[in-house]
Amino acid sequence: MAEAANELRDAEARFDQRIKRDERVEPKDWMPDGYRRTLIRQISQHAHSEVIGMQPEGSWITRAPSLKRKLILLAKVQDEGGHGLYLYSAAETLGASRDEMIDALQEGRAKYSSIFNYPALTWADIGAIGWLVDSAAIVNQIPLQRCSYGPYARAMVRICKEESFHQRQGYDIMLTLARGTAAQKAMAQDALDRWWWPTLMMFGPPDAESVHTSQSFAWKIKRHSNDELRQKFIDQAVPQAEVLGLAIPDPDLAWDEASGHYRIGPIDWDEFQRVVAGDGPCNRQRLAHHRRVREDGAWVREAVEAHAAKARARGARVGVEGAPDAAV
């Protein structure tokens, strides 16, 4: 007993040292249960956000205004699915099971970013989502590239690189509309009006009310507070809106010379709480769609499994034989 307790104490000390020295924790390292649980929750919810995030944009693939825009949007939505897969895989390195994570999403035990509970009503929303929502995601994700858990940090490096295309194509749509006819410009302004505040809410509650923050800081899962990241986004986005010639929908927005930051008016946190609690414009629709697609796709998964089982029975290997360098 004493020996086991000593071993545990040594393992904890090694973990603490590792975090203190800013080293990455890898899947086979000992880690506290709370660290593992926190990461599984955060990474799986991040994965769910990517996958649910395919819906508002996916709804415009068949209605894109040109073949070029359609190809771009297809590529973007495909990326979001890919990001979900990187993240589910990272969570699986912690011992989480894919089915359990998906069940938690569908049963409402796991959340996803509340931004995806808003509808994409016009083509300009596709521009606003890429520009604002993906910019906010990048601001959130850049520090996660240095998160203490290795597989999550490495997934973030890949994702951030790909997100920069998402952000650019969104801004490109906004720019095209803003330089177009009066009706097109009005459509761009309307999209900005509807997406601005929900985007600011993406960074989570104000620091004073944030529940999970302090332990995540100690574990170096989180490195900047919600308010710091929100401010960073605002300082970037306001001048970008000026280049578009569009107005940020906030009468209190002002440049604060002393601090070198833009100051904004109050955020409607009641709205945020309502949407997180399940009462946003599209919460039910998003989950219903996810359930339907999972059910509709079940036969494909079964068919692939049946094919693999048949091949195994024949003694053949599924896929291509041959070691990478052995034949050379």
Partner 1 sequence: MPLFEVFVRPRRGLQHQHAGSLRAEDAELALQYAREIYTRRREGVSLWVVRSSDITASQEDDAPAFFDPADDKPYRDATYYALPKEVKGL
The reply on whether position 168 binds partner 1 by CB under 8 A is yes
Examine residue 228 and tell whether it contacts partner 1 (CB under 8 A).
no
Q: Closest distance between partner 1 and the C-beta of residue 54, in Å?
A: 16
Contact range with partner 1 by CB under 8 A, out of 57-65, 159-167, 215-223, 248-256: 159-167
Residue 233 and residue 198 in contact, taking contact as beta carbons nearer than 8 Å = no
Question: Do 136 and 231 meet the contact criterion of CB atoms below 8 Å apart?
Answer: no
Round to whole Å and give the CA distance between 54 and 26. Answer: 30
Among 31, 43, 54, 72, binds partner 1 (CB under 8 A): 72
Task: Tell me: does residue 135 bind partner 1 (CB under 8 A).
Answer: yes
* H helix runs in the chain, sequence order: 2-20, 33-52, 54-58, 67-92, 98-106, 123-128, 134-144, 150-178, 182-201, 213-218, 226-244, 269-274, 283-296, 298-313
Task: Report if residue 67 touches partner 1, rule: CB under 8 A.
Answer: no
CA distance linking residue 260 with residue 267, whole number of Å: 21
Contact status: 263 vs partner 1 (CB under 8 A):
no
Q: Which of 32, 82, 119, 150 binds partner 1 (CB under 8 A)?
A: 150
| Residues between 16 and 35 that touch partner 1 (CB under 8 A) | 18, 23-24, 26
Axis-axis angle for helices 226-244, 182-201 (nearest 10): 170
Neighbour-count burial of 21, counting CB atoms closer than 10 A to its CB (0-12 exposed, 13-18 middle, 19+ buried): exposed
Contact between 314 and partner 1 by CB under 8 A: the answer reads no
Using CB under 8 A, pick the residue from 167, 189, 216, 231 that binds partner 1: 167
- Residue 307, C-beta contacts closer than 8 angstroms, at least 6 positions apart: 318
Asked if residue 171 binds partner 1 (CB under 8 A), the reply is yes
Residue 165 binds partner 1 (CB under 8 A): yes
300 touches partner 1 (CB under 8 A): no
Single-letter amino acid, residue 141: Q
Backbone phi, psi, residue 48, to 5°: -60, -40
Q: Is 321 in the site for partner 1 (CB under 8 A)?
A: yes
Bridge partners (DSSP) of residue 256 are 261
Number of residues that bind partner 1 (CB under 8 A): 35
* Cβ proximity to partner 1, 228 vs 271, nearer residue: 228
Enumerate binding residues for partner 1 (CB under 8 A). 18, 23-24, 26, 68, 71-72, 75, 79, 135, 150, 153-154, 162, 164-165, 167-169, 171-172, 175, 236, 239-240, 243, 317, 319-326
